[in-house]
């Protein structure tokens, strides 16, 4: 160990002496490592952004959609089906699950009466579909006990309501059949002449706001979420419980087995059988891995081009130090010691260049403007900089240093002592 550390110290000293000679080649290696690490790091975060964007629409990988293949006649049968499905999920230890059904409601805003698509779901829906409110909070289990049901609205909906204070402001919702008005009062359109009928209305408390979807322009459609337990209190919506479906998030390694068991256990429920379908999409299955390997290959070529310059500089340095090497050999230095010394000069140099390149790449990818760009692409939960990119960058730099130093080190050990002293 002492000899190894001595070789590193000696190599660092030689680099300081010959820093002008190797500086340009090290700049090339540092830039190559910067490019490789930056591409790998940005590629990893881009992969996360694309995956999370998919999960916001389709759910996480191995999210099962439990869709009844039949229908039930009334809300009582729908409740029995709910109990049977949830009991089956409880027996299998699946805690991340949700009931889901869409409810069209008419809501009063400052711009008139609009139609909103309200999704009645359970609190676990946010984890399965990577929903994170930009203001306020998401739905909670305790919201089922509220006298006025809680509602989470999207940003466009909140804007049309005038951005009232969260937790206290309410929005009045009516059943779609509770309004009479001009025929033009359509989904997403305002009807300034519409008037509410008596009854068939409910006040909903706004508790959270969802951020705008990345890359999507406002299209006039507004949406919101309420708890499934509040469905019976929404106007004209209780009958929609007969159309309810279910989602469950299961571990990837047992997804097929869970689907098979659920299919058997839910074959006799009202409105059954219930057919599980895997709705999640894994980005690696879409060919993104091949693209990442291609980018890695390009970065490796860049790194090898930088290494060629280092090889040339190392050869020139060995030729310049030939007399010094001959004198050291005459004083008893072994060929192995000369080999390690010359090799370590190249390794230490590229390790320093690699560290600089990796540090610059991490600083760039973690810069605020880059983070904002990934957020606009759909990144909900910001992941850390991929450790694998750092490890690959440093390993590649050290490996290139070793490859670039082998040829000069072999030349230094094979030269005859007398010829080296005369050089």
How many CB atoms neighbour CB 323 within 10 A? 12
Measured CA to CA, the distance from residue 358 to residue 398 in angstroms comes to: 12
Measured CA to CA, the distance from residue 128 to residue 130 in angstroms comes to: 6
Q: Which two tokens stand for residue 373?
A: 């760009």
Measured CA to CA, the distance from residue 148 to residue 159 in angstroms comes to: 21
Checking if the pLDDT of 54 tops 70, the result is yes
What's the whole-number average pLDDT of the chain?
78
Contacts of 404 (CB under 8 A, 6+ apart): 307, 310, 311, 314, 346, 350
Q: What are phi and psi of 210, to 5 degrees?
A: -90, 145
Measured CA to CA, the distance from residue 267 to residue 269 in angstroms comes to: 6
More confident residue, 222 or 418: 222
CB 265 within 8 A of CB 81: no
Length of the chain: 423
Measured CA to CA, the distance from residue 220 to residue 191 in angstroms comes to: 14
pLDDT, residue 166, reads 92
Which among 183, 179, 182, 159 is positioned nearest to 171, based on CA atoms? 159
The pTM (predicted TM-score) of the whole model is: 0.67
Banded model confidence at residue 282, pLDDT cuts 50, 70, 90 = low
pLDDT in tens, 234-267: 887 767 778 888 999 988 888 888 888 888 888 8
Contacts of 409 (CB under 8 A, 6+ apart): 338, 339, 340, 342, 343
DSSP 163: -
Which among 231, 213, 237 is positioned nearest to 223, based on CA atoms? 213
Buried/exposed 234-273: b ≥16 CB within 10 Å, e otherwise: bbbbeebbbebebbbbbeeeebeebbeebeebbeebbbbe
Host H or E run for residue 346: helix 335-365
Measured CA to CA, the distance from residue 222 to residue 281 in angstroms comes to: 26
How many CA atoms does the CB half-sphere of 345 hold within 13 Å?
31
Find the farthest-apart pair of alpha carbons in the chain and give their distance in angstroms, rounded. Answer: 111
- The angle subtended at Cα 345 by Cα 342 and Cα 350, nearest 5°, is 135
pLDDT, residue 251, reads 86
Checking if the pLDDT of 226 tops 90, the result is yes
Banded model confidence at residue 152, pLDDT cuts 50, 70, 90 = very high
**CA-based torsion, 257, 263, 269, 274: positive or negative:** positive
Banded model confidence at residue 221, pLDDT cuts 50, 70, 90 = confident
pLDDT, residue 287, reads 58
Measured CA to CA, the distance from residue 207 to residue 150 in angstroms comes to: 6
Checking if the pLDDT of 5 tops 70, the result is no
């Amino acid at each position: 160990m002492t000899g190894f550390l001595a070789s590193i110290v000696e190599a660092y000293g030689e680099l300081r002496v010959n820093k002008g000679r190797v500086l340009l080649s090290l700049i090339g290696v540092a830039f190559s490592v910067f490019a490789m690490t930056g591409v790998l790091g940005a590629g990893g975060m881009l992969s996360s952004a694309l995956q999370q964007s998919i999960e916001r629409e389709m759910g996480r990988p191995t999210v099962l959609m439990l869709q009844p293949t039949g229908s039930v006649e009334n809300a009582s049968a729908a409740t029995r089906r709910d109990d049977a499905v949830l009991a089956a999920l409880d027996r299998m230890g699946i805690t991340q699950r949700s009931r889901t059904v869409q409810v069209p409601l008419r809501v009063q805003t400052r711009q008139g009466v609009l139609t909103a698509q309200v999704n009645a779901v359970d609190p676990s829906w946010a984890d399965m579909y990577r929903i994170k409110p930009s203001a306020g909070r998401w739905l909670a289990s305790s919201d089922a006990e509220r006298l006025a049901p809680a509602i989470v609205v999207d940003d466009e909906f909140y804007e049309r309501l005038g951005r009232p204070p969260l937790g206290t402001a309410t929005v009045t919702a009516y059943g779609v059949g509770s309004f009479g008005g001009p025929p033009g009062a359509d989904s997403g359109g305002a009807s300034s002449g519409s008037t509410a009928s008596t009854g068939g209305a409910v006040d909903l408390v706004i508790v959270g706001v969802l951020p705008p979807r990345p890359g999507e322009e406002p299209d006039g459609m507004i949406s919101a979420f309420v708890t499934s337990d509040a469905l019976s209190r929404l106007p004209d919506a209780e009958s929609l419980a007969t159309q309810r479906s279910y989602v469950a998030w299961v571990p990837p390694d047992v997804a097929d087995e869970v689907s098979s068991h659920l299919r058997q256990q839910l074959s006799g429920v009202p409105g059954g059988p219930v057919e599980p379908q895997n709705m999640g999409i894994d980005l690696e299955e879409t060919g993104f891995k091949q693209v990442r390997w291609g980018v890695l290959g390009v970065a490796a070529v860049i790194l090898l081009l930088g290494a060629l310059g280092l090889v040339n500089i190392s050869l020139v340095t060995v030729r310049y130090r030939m007399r010094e090497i001959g004198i050291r050999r005459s004083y008893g230095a072994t060929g192995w010691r000369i080999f390690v010394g010359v090799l370590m000069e190249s390794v230490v140099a590229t390790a320093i260049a690699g560290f600089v390149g990796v540090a610059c790449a991490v600083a760039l990818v973690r810069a605020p403007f880059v983070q904002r760009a990934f957020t606009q692409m759909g990144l909900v939960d910001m992941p850390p900089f991929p450790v694998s990119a750092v490890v690959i960058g440093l390993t590649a730099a050290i490996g290139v240093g070793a490859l670039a130093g082998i040829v000069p080190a072999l030349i230094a050990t094979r030269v005859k002592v007398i010829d080296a002293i005369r050089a």
